[in-house]
Amino acid sequence: MTRSSPKTAFVTGGASGIGRALALALSAKGVAVTVADLVPPEAPSMEYAEVDVTSADAVRAAVHQVRQRYGRLDFVFNNAGIAVGGHTEELTLDHWNRTIDVNLRGVVHGVHAAYPIMIEQGFGHIVNTASMAGLVPAPLMLPYTATKHAVVGLSTALRAEAAAHGVRVSVVCPGFTDTPLLDNANPGLPYTETGARARSAAVRAQGRLYPVESLAADIMRGVARNQAIIVAPASGRLAWRGARLSPGGAIRAAALAIRRVSPSPKRT
């Protein structure tokens, strides 16, 4: 590694949505970005690695390739994820297992690959994408909610451990953001009545969807400030504060929201 070596970033799920916006923001700052996804990014100037985050070997190989090419690994954004929703009694174990494989194991694989490299070089920043669903009660998408709570816990605990090695860790908890994730709920899995209407449910719940470019700017600011938990938009920070002040009140508010957004399916 030399002084002239560019900073590097590895972004999973970087071909669309939040990952794409982050890749573009990083690239604009002169960071050498490698996009890891199942499909290539639209921006041909970025390095691309075809990676399925459910494969630990694939993630490790791609991360190590970045280190070998540039001699350093500055940022790893474990961002890839899927949206799975529906009434819990209608969800199958396939819904649960697929969500855990992508949303939780995908993050674990990224951390497992990058963290030892960052310890060895004495610097680096791991940024894991969770969700507001990892901070507040988020019914009608329990597999998603469970994995996002796990990512928050993983990230905050790793942050405390990593500080001794000069490694930074942040977790991103966005509210409903205008990304293709909402149009592809329960990917490759049976749709439930709620999962099929994810976008309209999100709009009713939040009022309006947060622009992905605005979220990327929030994340970049949070990373520059080394924030532990990056929450956006402002309405999300308000909801998080309310849940911490009154956990019971947050649960009651979530129960009320269910009745407005998606009444329980009728039984025959």
Q: Catalytic residue numbers?
A: 144
DSSP assignment, residue 189? S
List the alpha helices (DSSP H) in 73-226.
93-99, 106-121, 142-162, 198-206, 212-224
CA-angle at 168, arms to 161 and 84, nearest 5°:
90
Give, to the nearest 10 degrees, the angle between helix 17-28 and helix 212-224. 60
Query: Which residues lie closer than 8 Å to 175 by C-beta, 6 or more apart?
Result: 132, 206, 210, 232, 233, 235, 236, 239
SS3 173: strand
Strands (E), the chain: 8-12, 32-37, 47-50, 75-78, 125-129, 168-174, 229-232
Which of 116, 11, 97 shows the shortest CA–CA distance to 54?
A: 97
Contact 142, 99 (CB under 8 A): no
Q: Which two tokens stand for residue 231?
A: 């929450």
User: Can you tell me which residue has the tokens 């860790």?
Assistant: 169
